[in-house]
A and B are shown apart, each in its own frame.
Chain A
Amino acid sequence: MPALAEQTPAVPTFYRVASRREDTDDTVTVELTEPDGPIPAFAPGQFAMLTALGVGEVPISVSGLGDSGGGRASRLEHTLRAVGAVTRALCAVQPGGLIGVRGPFGTGWDVASAAGRDIVIVAGGIGLGPLRPVVLTALADRSRYGRIVLLAGTRTPGDLLYGGELERWRRKGVEVAVTVDHADSGWSGEVGLVTALIKPAGLAPGNSVAFICGPDIMMRVTADALAALGIPAGRIRVSLERNMRCGAAWCGHCQLGPLLVCRDGPVVGYDRAAALMRVREL
């Protein structure tokens, strides 16, 4: 059975849902396994084109790679938010059900390039999903990196992803700060925009690499704030998003000016992305 990457990249391999966890009202995390062959290596930041059979296909960044030992990925993890017909169908697939996978596609976060520096992760909403592999990669090779700082903003406390896991990360030395837009009476954490978490974090801009993922405007505002702090734009990375019909640079949909987000992104340095993100209706 040919490995996924060697098949024609237009055709999905159908994986089985091994587990399914409801994270919030509209977000689900699924683990996918491929019983017939090895799972191709997805680097943190890369995405797969996931197919809900008979409904359609969407690009979803990988949010985790189960490790069966020996560095081989045993399963693919994706955090999905039900925002449209396809994602609603994907969120509804039960364990044992089929989800088509094509990939990996796109550029990765390149966590290794942050060796010797502090890793600063800023997540907005479901943007925490694509950033989770950055934390896992850094934790798996802890001595290679300086501080690991995670700043996460979300709409309400009920929308916070991976709650229990954030605690485990804290215990392993990740500096986690969370803020919400709207608090409920039980919330004892911060309330406000995620950029308000930056100054208290006391970052060393000269020695930091930043990884940002979330809605376009949130990424722009956060990247600007980090750049104002002194982190060079080339060391600030954003994960761009555009609709895609192929993931392989054939369909033309994911263009942002000169960039094909599926091929030149989704992870792009802010030095390249900043000007493009500012143009109206680009």
Chain B
Amino acid sequence: MHPSEDSALQPPGGAVVVDADGLPALFEALRARGYTVVGPTVRDGAIVVAELASVAELPFGWGVEAEAGRYRLRERADTAAFGHSAGPQSWKSVLHPPRARLWSADRATGSVEAGEAAEPPRYALLGVRPCDVRAVGILDQVLTGGRHADPVYRGRRDGAFIIAVECTEPGATCFCTSMGCGPGAESGFDLAMTELADAEGHRFVVRAGTPAGADVLADVPSRAADEATIRRASTAVDEAADHMGRTMPTQGLPQLLADSRESPHWDDVASRCLTCGNCTMVCPTCFCTTTEDVTDLTGDHAERWRVWDSCYALDFSYLHGGSVRTSGQSRYRQWISHKLGTWHDQFGSSGCVGCGRCIAWCPAGIDITQEVSALASLRDAAAADEDGR
């Protein structure tokens, strides 16, 4: 433990090492700047995203076993705080909250008050995996990159401080490398940390990604990172890239989905999919919402609330007095075609970051990577048939 004696001696923009017991100082530095720290914590048998009152609430020593349709906590052999994946929540719970008030209005005067009842806190997101960093970037594009910026997201995003934590231990459902957004963090963060918890101690290799990040880091006891440590951290990340649980073939994926609109495969998925919408709840980029208009008992005061919605809801798409997508087939097709295909047309990138949550949290164990393979095989078979004729 070598508390930094003079922060001016640290290489600007270079990596430093922060010991695990330096984390409280990180918390303090964030709080002193008015941030509410949000991060992973164990609750109800899962690692969820919640406001953290102290460092102690981080899930030290907790890992997960994730597979299709399965998620269990397990005790780790070490004290790593970020050695887990595919939790049921993502950072959209914070930036794109499940419930937000859009406005309230007074009937007598027609005057309107915009926004939420109180100012939302400024959040420091601690423990954002690279897949989730990319997911935040995707939500940035969807919710603020178009002609109209979503005011709720904009407000929370502008005030957010992101601390990414690189992955050294991918989960069985992970495939961020296929989607080109992990396991290392390259951009989109204020601070990036790589956790090392081994015989040499529990420590983090930390680097700043923005001046705001550097500013916070300066208040945290650290020491310059030596070659060996830096190499150990980057090797751990590189090895993680080779141990992904799954892969997703992304070449020509939007075209495959467009070609597959009438594929017989949808019947197959429909026989398994419960249209429960879990995947949309846990997915870090699913952004769909609906609104509810409410009044008080006198009817003089009305409010509009925005709440999460899912394309699996029967009346999600509605026309001429009835649902457009009544069958399960059409709703599953909509979700996967949007996520991997038409998202490109609408927002200029894939909507998937390979976090594997949808695979783990699907009660039927439906695997998005396997569904894509099935579609590709069917299309190839159909093409071969055509050629054969």
Answer yes or no: do A and B interact: yes
A residues apposed to B, CB below 8 Å: 7-14, 16, 51, 53-57, 83-84, 98, 100, 215-216, 241-243, 245-246, 248-253, 255, 257-260, 263, 279-282
Contact at A245–B293, with CB atoms within 8 Å?
no
B13 to chain A, nearest CB (A): 36
CA distance A263 to B258 in the complex (A): 20
Contact at A249–B146, with CB atoms within 8 Å?
yes
Please tell me if B76 contacts chain A, counting CB pairs below 8 Å: no
Q: Which residues of B contact A55 (CB under 8 A)?
A: 293
CA distance A280 to B333 in the complex (A): 11
B302-346 interface (Cβ within 8 A of A): 302, 304, 309, 311, 316-321, 324-327, 329-330, 334, 337-338, 341-342, 345-346
Chain A to chain B contacts (Cβ below 8 Å), 13 pairs? A10-B150, A13-B112, A14-B111, A51-B293, A57-B304, A100-B105, A242-B318, A249-B146, A252-B287, A253-B316, A253-B317, A258-B342, A281-B324
Q: Look across to chain A and name the residue whose beta carbon is closest to the beta carbon of B345.
A: A258
The 7 closest A-B pairs by CB, nearest first: A258-B345, A252-B288, A281-B330, A14-B110, A54-B295, A248-B148, A54-B302
CA distance A7 to B113 in the complex (A): 12
Q: Which residues of A contact B148 (CB under 8 A)?
A: 9, 248-250
Please tell me if B103 contacts chain A, counting CB pairs below 8 Å: yes
Apart from A215-B320, A248-B147, A250-B143, list 14 A-B contacts with CB within 8 A. Answer: A8-B115, A9-B151, A12-B103, A51-B293, A53-B107, A54-B107, A54-B294, A241-B319, A249-B148, A250-B142, A251-B288, A253-B316, A255-B338, A282-B324
Please tell me if B291 contacts chain A, counting CB pairs below 8 Å: yes
Contact at A98–B110, with CB atoms within 8 Å?
yes
Q: Which residues of A contact B302 (CB under 8 A)?
A: 53-54
Contact at B291–A56, with CB atoms within 8 Å?
yes
Contact at A243–B320, with CB atoms within 8 Å?
no
Contact at A7–B289, with CB atoms within 8 Å?
no
B263-303 interface mask toward A, CB cutoff 8 Å, 1 = contact, 0 = none? Answer: 00000000000000000000000011111011100010010
Which of A84, A215, A282 neighbours the largest number of chain B CB atoms within 10 Å of its CB? A282
Q: Look across to chain B and name the residue whose beta carbon is closest to the beta carbon of A12.
A: B112
Residues A11 and B103 in contact in the complex (CB < 8 Å), given A250-B143, A263-B146: yes
Contact at A14–B112, with CB atoms within 8 Å?
yes
Residues A245 and B289 in contact in the complex (CB < 8 Å), given A8-B114, A10-B150: yes
B133-154 interface (Cβ within 8 A of A): 142-143, 146-152
Contact at A57–B112, with CB atoms within 8 Å?
no
Q: Which residues of A contact B321 (CB under 8 A)?
A: 83-84
Please tell me if B375 contacts chain A, counting CB pairs below 8 Å: no
CA distance A16 to B115 in the complex (A): 23
B67 to chain A, nearest CB (A): 29
Contact at A242–B319, with CB atoms within 8 Å?
yes
B149 to chain A, nearest CB (A): 8
Q: Look across to chain A and name the residue whose beta carbon is closest to the beta carbon of B114.
A: A11
Contact at A250–B289, with CB atoms within 8 Å?
yes
CA distance A84 to B150 in the complex (A): 27
CA distance A279 to B329 in the complex (A): 13
Chain B interface extent, by class: 35 or more
Kindly identify which residue among B146, B316, B329 contacts A248, using a CB–CB cutoff of 8 Å. Answer: B146
CA distance A100 to B102 in the complex (A): 14
Kindly identify which residue among B107, B147, B334 contacts A255, using a CB–CB cutoff of 8 Å. Answer: B334
B326 to chain A, nearest CB (A): 7
Contact at B150–A250, with CB atoms within 8 Å?
yes
Contact at B110–A216, with CB atoms within 8 Å?
no
CA distance A279 to B337 in the complex (A): 13
B114-137 interface (Cβ within 8 A of A): 114-115
Q: Look across to chain A and name the residue whose beta carbon is closest to the beta carbon of B301.
A: A54
A232 to chain B, nearest CB (A): 23
Q: Which residues of B contact A84 (CB under 8 A)?
A: 321
Please tell me if B31 contacts chain A, counting CB pairs below 8 Å: no
Contact at B112–A255, with CB atoms within 8 Å?
no
B56 to chain A, nearest CB (A): 38
Contact at A282–B112, with CB atoms within 8 Å?
no
Q: Which residues of B contact A56 (CB under 8 A)?
A: 291, 293
Which of A54, A56, A216, A279 neighbours the largest number of chain B CB atoms within 10 Å of its CB? A54
CA distance A53 to B293 in the complex (A): 8
CA distance A258 to B334 in the complex (A): 10
B351 to chain A, nearest CB (A): 11
Q: Which residues of B contact A248 (CB under 8 A)?
A: 146-148, 150
Kindly identify which residue among A16, A249, A281 contacts B325, using a CB–CB cutoff of 8 Å. Answer: A281
A132 to chain B, nearest CB (A): 21
Kindly identify which residue among A10, A243, A252 contacts B102, using a CB–CB cutoff of 8 Å. Answer: A10
Which of A84, A242, A245 neighbours the largest number of chain B CB atoms within 10 Å of its CB? A245
A253 to chain B, nearest CB (A): 6
B20-40 interface (Cβ within 8 A of A): none
Please tell me if B261 contacts chain A, counting CB pairs below 8 Å: yes
Kindly identify which residue among B111, B294, B319, B326 contacts A216, using a CB–CB cutoff of 8 Å. Answer: B319
Q: Which residues of B contact A8 (CB under 8 A)?
A: 114-115, 151
Which of A216, A249, A260, A281 neighbours the largest number of chain B CB atoms within 10 Å of its CB? A281
A227 to chain B, nearest CB (A): 21
Q: Which residues of A contact B103 (CB under 8 A)?
A: 10-12
Q: Look across to chain B and name the residue whose beta carbon is closest to the beta carbon of A84.
A: B321
Q: Which residues of A contact B262 (CB under 8 A)?
A: 279
Q: Which residues of A contact B318 (CB under 8 A)?
A: 242-243, 253
